[in-house]
Amino acid sequence: MLERMFEQKFAVSSYCTETADLPVFDANKWSLIGKLCKLLKVFHTTTVRLSSRNSNSSDIIPQIKFLKLFIRQAANSEAFSGLDSTLAALQTSMDKRFTQYLDSDALILSTFLDPRYQDSLFDKSLGSSTSIANIQRKIVEEVKNRKEMIANETESVRGNLSSSESEVNESYETTQKGSSSSSTLESFDFDSCFNMMIAEATAESESKTQLTSEAGENAKEKEHSGSGNTMKRRSSSTALSIEKEVATYLSFNLCPKNENPTDWWKINKNSLPHLSAIANKFLSAPPSSIESERVFSIGGNVYTPHRNSLKPEVGEKLMFINYNLRIMNFTY
């Protein structure tokens, strides 16, 4: 609405001038409105990007870092002069609302396992929650949890198998399927400032590494020989194989931003089996509830006042077909 009003500022000014009860905006106020539209446009673009059907949870941390970088850049730019209080309020709100997501283990793993980002936006200094050592530890825990879950599911299925050979084969197949599952601020967008975000993360890592280098001996001893748990983890064949996979994964170049990360993992799943299994889990989650709301909207279109007696299973099938035919680009 604000953007539309700014586009029609001459008509709005004329109407306000002819109407005695309405205030008239001067040139300075119209300038502030124009700057505010440009400022909020970046947030609108981010919202649209995270609401896309092709987006997933790995986009959350990069987009938060992008917005925080944009606010810092805008605060020092003449293009947004006069909006100091607005920028300060946005910065405070961003820190309050989104800092918790930057420290989320699930989102860290999701971003790391996205071949478009890998560890490029993380603080990789020793002791950081996003260091390679800590990320490997989280992946090892996920792999172990996944193996335990599959083992429990397998035992449960075996206990419920019938004596029929055909039913045994059918149940086994079902179990197997379930378990494998900066440019100028005038044109400031995520893609154009991605390299700037990488440079910022690298500088932060180097700065923290330099600050902790004085106590580096203790940290090194703690990492390599001071902990029995570390020695046990390194002696584990699973941990060693994951360490090799992580090194191989990080040797790949970053994918283009418009590439689907799941397509990349389909190609490389054989060379990175452990990481691929974890990636299937974390890259399948949408970044917001928009997709769920879309499904509810489809349900509202299926169940209408003139078609309100559908059986639940029929309605479910119609919703499934309605949703997936568009994904398959099916034309009638």
Task: Tell me the whole-structure pTM to 2 decimals.
Answer: 0.73
pLDDT value for 161: 55
pLDDT value for 305: 84
pLDDT value for 332: 59
How many CA atoms, within 13 angstroms, populate the side-chain half-sphere of residue 305? 0
pLDDT in tens, 176-231: 333 333 445 656 677 777 777 777 777 766 665 554 444 444 444 444 444 445 44
What DSSP character marks residue 56? -
Token pair, residue 44, equals 């609108």
Place of tokens 């586009």: 7
Provide the residue ranges of all domains of the chain, joining segments of one domain with +. Answer: 2-104, 111-280, 290-327
For helices 273-282 and 132-160, what crossing angle results, to 10°?
A: 80
List per-residue pLDDT tens for the chain, 332 residues long: 788 887 888 888 888 888 878 888 888 888 888 889 888 999 999 998 888 888 889 999 999 999 999 998 888 888 888 889 999 999 999 999 998 998 888 999 999 999 999 988 888 776 777 888 888 888 888 888 887 887 777 777 666 655 444 443 444 343 333 333 344 565 667 777 777 777 777 776 666 555 444 444 444 444 444 444 544 544 467 788 888 888 999 999 998 888 889 899 999 989 999 899 899 889 888 888 888 888 888 888 888 888 888 888 988 888 888 878 877 766 65
pLDDT value for 61: 92
Beta-carbon count within 10 A of 61 CB: 25
Closest CA to 122 of 206, 188, 46, 191: 206
Contacts of 158 (CB under 8 A, 6+ apart): none
Beta-carbon count within 10 A of 87 CB: 18
Token pair, residue 159, equals 């206990």
Q: Which residues pair with 307 in a beta bridge?
A: 304
pLDDT value for 169: 46
Closest CA to 37 of 3, 70, 11, 65: 3
pLDDT value for 310: 86
pLDDT value for 300: 84
Token pair, residue 10, equals 């001459």
